[in-house]
Structure 1
Amino acid sequence: MTYQETLDYLFNALPMFQRIGAAAFKKDLSNTVKLCEELGNPQQQFKSIHVAGTNGKGSSSHMIAAVLQEAGYKVGLYTSPHLKSFTERIKINGKEIPPDKVVAFVEQNRTFLDSLKPSFFEMTVGLAFAHFAEEKVDYAVVEVGMGGRLDSTNVITPEVCLITNIGLDHTQFLGTTLAEIAGEKAGIIKPKVPVVISQYQSETVEVFKAKALEHKAPVFFADRYYRAVQKGLNTSTQKCDYQIIKNNTDTVYSLDLFGKYQEKNLPGVLMVLEVLKEQGLQLAPSIVQAGLAHAAEISGLKGRFQKLGDAPLVYCDTGHNEDGMGQLMEQLQAMPYDDFHIILGMVNDKDLGKVLDLLPKSAKYVFCQANIPRALPADELQQKATDHGLAGVVIRDVNEALSQTLKKASKNDLIFIGGSTFVVAEIENL
């Protein structure tokens, strides 16, 4: 098989949630268990950190991986979805899995895969675990795809679990309240394995405490130990400074991640690193500082409050639900600008009303759509936005939308591109 034929097999032969939505969602771990058994249970051959949550799990996973790599460990990183290339999902020390490894995996296991008929996500998890085991990683940071309890990644027994912010997303699968969603995320908690909760939320705290008690797992609410405050751009380092307060002592960390929402992610990341240190890892403060300072660079993280241009300022972000978009708008609207332009595209299975209500009515909108079946048609998005007092034009292709907006914008304007991971993924110069 060629690499393209292999990708076609992965993407087209089996349904994939990111492209088609609910039809690809399977509430069952049996296929993943069978596939891992066929592969020799590679997930048992390396230490792991398991990361779940609604918002922040991608950034947190990349930060943890970067610090462990800076400490000299060989670190696997499994995340989803990818932005540009399938191989982004599976990395070791920041390097994507080689395409020939993807081809070899499918060729060697084709007969079994054809008989088992696992989902795209199940196959990708098997591929990641097999690659990490073959390359003998010291640690793998494994991000949950959706939920936790029945997510394909939930066949690992990690050294520590991290659960980031809980918000209303994928409610058709995970529940309609924060407590119900937290119950699904809490499904990654394992017997006697420490679990870190990034954010103490009154609606979810008892869910996590009960599940941790059931499994006799130590539980740490990270923002009860650490408080993070974004201080802004450090002009000497061109990174963003965050003040970390613990036990009335202050430490400043400079990050190459600029989203204000990292204030909510950093306590969880630092608490996970503290738990790992208690387990015997050698992580000097200078190592943590260096890893966080270059987290995006080391791990290859893209699309998280990423600046794409100056004069006018252009930012993109993959945040797409109520919590994520609310934090983005708060940070963007605090910036100085003459006119605010928003290039917006969304998928068709989200609660759009709550997100649209968060967007400024004074902004100038361009409505676009990603080239996937789940994309909400741009003209439908325009109509829904109009119903919420947001006015703009339709330019379906995100790159054409950006090109036309740049022609109209002044050097003191601000342009934001977002609303969907898949819209951001199609930006050409990302």
Structure 2
Amino acid sequence: MSNTPYQQTLTYLYEQLPMFTRVGATALKKDLHNTIALCALLNNPQEKFKSIHIAGTNGKGSTSHMLAAIFQQAGYKTGLYTSPHLVDFRERIKINGQMIPEAQVVNFVESLKPQIEIIQPSFFELTVAMAFQYFEQEKVDIAVIEVGLGGRLDSTNIITPALSVITNISYDHMNILGNTLAEIAAEKAGIIKKGIPVVISETQTESQPVFNATAAAKEAPISFADQEWLVEQSKLNVSNLELSLLNTRHNQVKHLTLDLNGQYQEKNVMAVLSAVSIMQQQGWHLPEDAVNTALMHVKKLTGLRGRWDVINTHPLTVLDVGHNEAGITEIMQQLMHVNYQQLHIVLGFVKDKEVEKALALFPPAATYYFCKAQIPRALDEVELANMALQKGLKGHPYASVQEAFQMARQHAHKDDMVLVCGSCFIVAEAI
């Protein structure tokens, strides 16, 4: 790493502050005090712009990027806060698809250093405050804010949004969020605010009563997107997903082409369309052609990577950040629609994931390249190879992601497929 002021600032951020993605649960704070204290120092920037708040186990990143693309395409100055980043820290904070300038990151941290020593915020808490201040300074029309983890106690949960969205609930981070889907749903439901409408992507037996009860207590209008929309036709191409959706309320069919072409985007896009209709009712000008164009160009407009990300066609090479049981299940369903001779999977996990459950979902016929990302939380590649072997998955361990990825590409013939997945850190290092 070159030692620019920006690199020095990042080193300070990573070393001073516990970072969940690197060290795990010990980095989390069990309340919002630090975020509230930090934002108070900055004159509460989060109160000075409009926002949409998005939580959920899987799909919140894609949903956030789709919504940001739509507002951007409709001519609004749009902030987007997401996590984690793949290659550059600044991917977390964008306006109209452009990352926050390096100088802005440096100045923000420098100006707050004395207070950082006192408050001792986590990496995430400080990043959230940085995003909120940047969005306020740049006078965004709206910001799409993705929850980091959970909802109720997430640092982002100090905003009062115009709309809340909860994508889906599945098992992830159970050591932190709870062991049943209802417990996890209760944490996500923590973003539902008094009188603020909430859209739920998926109707799920365990979580529906939790969401309904919370919304009723908060007098928040609630809608379930999959009860408003019905997928009539779905065609998966290498670089896009063509959909026909029936709006069950108005009996109208909507034809869309998405450049986010995982089959699993069907669920996310329903929530996006329901969200758009609520925001239109609130007076936002989001014409249909802007919505259609935005959904066709989400990657270009927002810079989203790593969601069924096709980076080569011969052999077909796909990166996907899916990493928990539900995410891996979606990837495996997607694979059924792909033609290939042999499948090569570059795979690595972090330690606190339900790795056993995830491994059980992978096909024994594939060739595996087990590897380890360069972070303290990464699961050892030899240990992973042994766990995989118990599930009938055969392959070799490699010390680095680059080496594993290189070997997979060397062994793959042009009609084969190479898939890189298991953790966003694996995908980041492959990119």
TM range (shorter): over 0.9
Of the structure 1 ranges 325-334 and 189-198, higher mean CA displacement relative to structure 2 is found in 325-334
> 1:138 — aligned with what?
141
- Aligned-pair CA distance for 1:228: 3.4
Letter paired with 1:424: V
Which residue is 1:262 aligned to? 265
1:262-411 to structure 2, matched below 5 A, reads 262-411=265-414
Distance in 2 separating the partners of 1:154 and 1:378: 36
Distance 1:197 1:386 in 2: 38
Alignment of 1:19-418 (within 5 A): 19-228=22-231, 231-233=234-236, 239-247=240-248, 248-418=251-421
Structure-1 separation of matches of 2:172 and 2:179: 9
| Residues 350-387 of structure 1: per-residue CA shift (max 9 Å, x gap) | 11111111100111111011000000000000011011
Question: How much does 1:222 deviate?
Answer: 0.6
* Letter aligned with residue 339 of structure 2: P
Aligned partners of 1:195 and 1:220 also within 8 Å: yes
Question: C-alpha separation between the residues in 2 aligned to 1:255 and 1:116?
Answer: 43
Contact 1:198 1:265 in 2 (8 A): yes
Counterpart-to-counterpart distance in 2, 1:153 and 1:254: 31
**Contact kept in structure 2, 1:228 and 1:264, CA below 8 Å:** no
Q: Secondary structure at the match of 1:169?
A: coil
SS at match of 1:426: helix
Secondary structure at 2:186's aligned position in 1? helix
One-letter amino acid of the counterpart of residue 246, structure 1: N
CA distance in 1, matches of 2:337, 2:364: 15
| d(CA) in 1 for partners of 2:5, 2:340 | 49
- Listed as ranges, the gaps of 5+ residues in structure 2 are none
Distance 1:230 1:408 in 2: 36
Q: CA deviation at 1:229?
A: 5.8
Give, as a single letter, the amino acid of the residue that structure 1 aligns with 2:59: G
8 Å contact 1:226–1:244 — kept in the other structure?
yes
CA–CA distance in structure 1, aligned partners of residues 50 and 63 of structure 2: 17
| 1:259 alignment partner AA | G
Is 1:4 the counterpart of 2:3? The answer is no
CA contact (8 A) 1:228 1:266 kept: no
Rounded Cα–Cα distance in structure 1 between residues aligned with 2:33 and 2:64: 26
Q: TM-score, normalised by structure 2?
A: 0.97
Q: CA deviation at 1:232?
A: 2.7
Please tell me the residue identity of whatever aligns with 2:400.
Answer: D
Equivalent position SS for 1:365: strand
Determine the structure 2 residue equivalent to 1:14. 17
Return the offset for 1:233: 4.7
Partner of 2:420: helix, strand, or coil? strand
Contact 1:229 1:263 in 2 (8 A): no
Over the residues paired in the alignment, what is the CA RMSD in angstroms? 1.2
8 A contact 2:241–2:263 mirrored in 1 = no
Structure-1 separation of matches of 2:231 and 2:268: 9
User: Contact conserved, 2:170 with 2:181, CA < 8 A, in 1?
Assistant: yes
Q: Helix, strand or coil: the match of 1:362?
A: coil
Structure 1 consecutive aligned stretches of length 4 or more whose deviation exceeds 3 Å: none
For residue 397 of structure 1, report the CA deviation from its aligned partner.
1.5
In the alignment, is the contact (CA less than 8 A) between 2:345 and 2:408 conserved in 1? Answer: no
1:231 CA displacement: 2.6
SS of the residue aligned with 1:130?
A: helix
Q: Contact 1:255 / 1:292 at 8 angstroms: preserved in 2? A: yes
Q: Aligned with 1:123: secondary structure? A: helix
Task: Give how far 1:257 is off.
Answer: 0.5
**C-alpha offsets along residues 224-243 of structure 1, whole Å, 9 cap, x if unaligned?**
001236633569xx532122
How many residues align? The count is 426
Matches of 1:8 and 1:395, distance apart in 2: 27
TM-score normalized with structure 1 length: 0.97
Residues 59 and 207 (structure 1 numbering): CA distance in 2 closer, same or farther, change over 3 Å?
A: same
**Distance in 1 (alpha carbons) for counterparts of 2:253 and 2:52:** 27
After the TM superposition, which of the residue ranges 322-331 and 225-234 deviates more from structure 2?
A: 225-234
Does structure 1 retain, via aligned residues, the 8 Å contact 2:237–2:261?
no
